[in-house]
Amino acid sequence: MTMCTLFAALIVVGTFIRIPIPVVPFTLQFLFTMLAGLLLGGRLGAASVGLYIAMGLIGLPVFAQGGGIGYVLKPSFGYIVGFAIAAYATGRLAGREGSPGYGRLLFANFVGLAIVYSCGMIYYALISAFYLGAPIGLWPLFLYCFLLAVPGDIALCLLAAVVAKRVRPTLQREGSVG
């Protein structure tokens, strides 16, 4: 429970470390959600992201643009849902080996990246079309919701793999890793 709470707090901190780009702000949330999966395992990693989501939905301003139940109607909420699914998948993929190498960690992170962007872009398109009444074309969706943000997230995938490879053995010795 302590590690889940710690990662939820790290995700909150990562939310407020931002680089402004159009549409979806680039933050370090993705880094900490991937590390939650890599270091805690799928179940606990997803639980820590779930705690973060719950904090935001009850009204704490932990999301990039605030908090509250109304946040589910923001087009960017799909990325947050994707964080939880990705943390689970990343943890499951990395946890298949007791001491995964960089290749497995990177593969797990890139699967997580694909999940986050798939959830985010689909949700963005649906909310834009059906709630906001302003459908977004395929090219603008791809440009603003993927192309502009993905280079930074690829770098975060690499960073998360390096950090996880170095930290995971210590957590395994202490019995804290999933």
Instruction: Give the model's pLDDT for residue 36.
Output: 97
- Alpha-carbon distances of 94 from 36, 65, 159, rounded to whole Å: 11, 31, 15
| pLDDT, mean of residues 26-49 | 95
Average pLDDT, the chain: 92
Instruction: Give the model's pLDDT for residue 27.
Output: 86
Q: Distance between CA 26 and CA 141 in Å, rounded?
A: 16
Instruction: Give the model's pLDDT for residue 73.
Output: 96
| Best mean pLDDT range from 66-80, 137-151, 160-174 | 66-80
CA dihedral 97, 172, 81, 113 (to 10 degrees): -50
Instruction: Give the model's pLDDT for residue 25.
Output: 63
Q: Distance between CA 149 and CA 42 in Å, rounded?
A: 25
Hunting for tokens 């804290």 — which residue is that?
176
30 burial level (CB within 10 Å; 0-12, 13-18, 19+) = buried
Instruction: Give the model's pLDDT for residue 111.
Output: 98
The model carries a pTM of: 0.91
Confidence of residue 156 (pLDDT cuts 50, 70, 90): very high
Hunting for tokens 């990325």 — which residue is that?
79
Instruction: Give the model's pLDDT for residue 174.
Output: 78
| pLDDT, mean of residues 119-126 | 96
